[in-house]
Amino acid sequence: MAYLFTSESVSEGHPDKVADQISDALIDNFLAFDTDSKVACETLVTTGQVVLAGEVKSNTYLDVQQIARDTINKIGYTKGEYMFDGNSCGVFSAIHEQSDDINRGVDRASKEQQGAGDQGMMFGYATNETENYMPLALDLSHRILIELAELRRENKDITYLRPDSKSQVTIEYSDDNVPQRIDAIVVSTQHDDFGDDDTMLAKIRKDIVEILIPRVVAKLPKQIQVLFNDDIKYHINPTGKFVIGGPHGDTGLTGRKIIVDTYGGKGAHGGGAFSGKDPSKVDRSAAYATRHIAKNLVAAGVADEVLVQVSYAIGVVEPMGIFIDTHGTCSFNMTDGEIAEKVSQIFDMRPFAIEERLKLRSPMYSETAAYGHMGRNNETVTKTFTQPNGETATVDVELFTWEKLDYVDKVKEAFGL
């Protein structure tokens, strides 16, 4: 029997994502001037206020208040009428030095013997139902909001948009797990107050269905475009009005959108957030490493769908174990346990090895903090960072290194494909 599956996304202006982006902007600035920085930074945003808290061990000094303000302005909170804007909000910092008890479990005389920054289990997932090996419902949810943000910044075809928004896509699958059609799309977008409720809702619905969705569809592969049809159920601003939004409408916290950050409910999640953590925290680095493994396994033809789990004990170098689940889609006669054994031989999952393999000690994290950490484009960009004393650092940064298919040949060789 066919079934429905749903995933959601939130925009860069969603309060939880504002918090994530501030936390990751701090990470990038610390790493730009001291690649050995150890950082765990949490952010809270609410009406007219930002609170920064966390632990840092670094040889650099930053103006964390200004970094927070610049991030907020970049997102688009630049008007006093939003009741939260980068130029006038208060920024309170309670960041202090990292605990020596935690640090001694990570730092070693030899970097290769670096211990895990915490215990826990991390998951990576990949499926061949999309070109970027991501679950389709989540991929479409992200694309809708990325395009909506483009329309907001263009301020031409739609002129009333504000930064906060959410999307949700429901897809019908066949018994053999193949997407058949899009059943429903939900879009809730913050907007200016430009008329009575009925007039605003009618205008927003028309613009979303007739302007936004066609722009999204036009950028999709043909095999995905055919899933859109005239029978899709659209729920546009279902409450009828969404003027009060962002951190004024709802308090935001770092790490509250971890399912949006990963696989939209497909696969699994170990529970640890990513944003605000330097790569010694395996919550982040090992989640990227398992995505890298899963994507390369699927791309190599090992299986149509792969879930990878790895687990650690704090301060211990080697992982507790690696688990593989191909959901019965393995293309040859090998058990998931046998696949896991080969994977452990191909990929070095010691924390420092992961950092080196994926170049995680570079200031690459601001771009991850909205529209998902997985399924993004691997590219190199140039960034410039400035300290309070005027010193600058210009760095070429390779983004989303865990999305590279650089291990496909090694996987094929190991599995005889």
- Angle at Cα 373 formed by Cα 306 and Cα 387, nearest 5°? 150
DSSP 221: -
Instruction: Give, in words, the CATH class of 16-110.
Output: alpha beta
17 is in an annotated binding site: no
412 is in an annotated binding site: no
- Angle at Cα 68 formed by Cα 63 and Cα 74, nearest 5°? 125
Q: What is the mean pLDDT of each run of 10 residues along the chain (417 residues)?
A: 95 98 98 95 97 95 96 97 96 86 57 75 97 98 98 97 98 95 98 93 97 98 96 95 95 98 96 95 96 98 97 91 96 94 96 96 98 98 95 96 98 95
Instruction: Give, in words, the CATH class of 120-127+257-272+279-415.
Output: alpha beta
DSSP β-bridge partners for residue 167: 9, 187
What are the extents of the domains in the chain? 3-10+135-244, 16-110, 120-127+257-272+279-415
256 is in an annotated binding site: yes
The dotted CATH code for 3-10+135-244 is: 3.30.300.10
d(CA 29, CA 26): 5
42 is in an annotated binding site: yes
406 is in an annotated binding site: no
350 is in an annotated binding site: no
166 is in an annotated binding site: yes
257 is in an annotated binding site: yes
98 is in an annotated binding site: yes
d(CA 416, CA 37): 41
342 is in an annotated binding site: no
d(CA 413, CA 417): 6
336 is in an annotated binding site: no
Torsion from C-alpha of 330, 334, 339, 340, nearest 10 degrees: 110
16 is in an annotated binding site: yes
pLDDT number for residue 236: 97
pLDDT number for residue 164: 98
**Are the beta carbons of 187 and 21 closer than 8 angstroms?**
no
Question: Rounded to two decimals, what is the model's pTM?
Answer: 0.95
CATH topology identical between 3-10+135-244 and 16-110: yes
DSSP 99: P
pLDDT number for residue 101: 56
**Are the beta carbons of 264 and 137 closer than 8 angstroms?**
yes
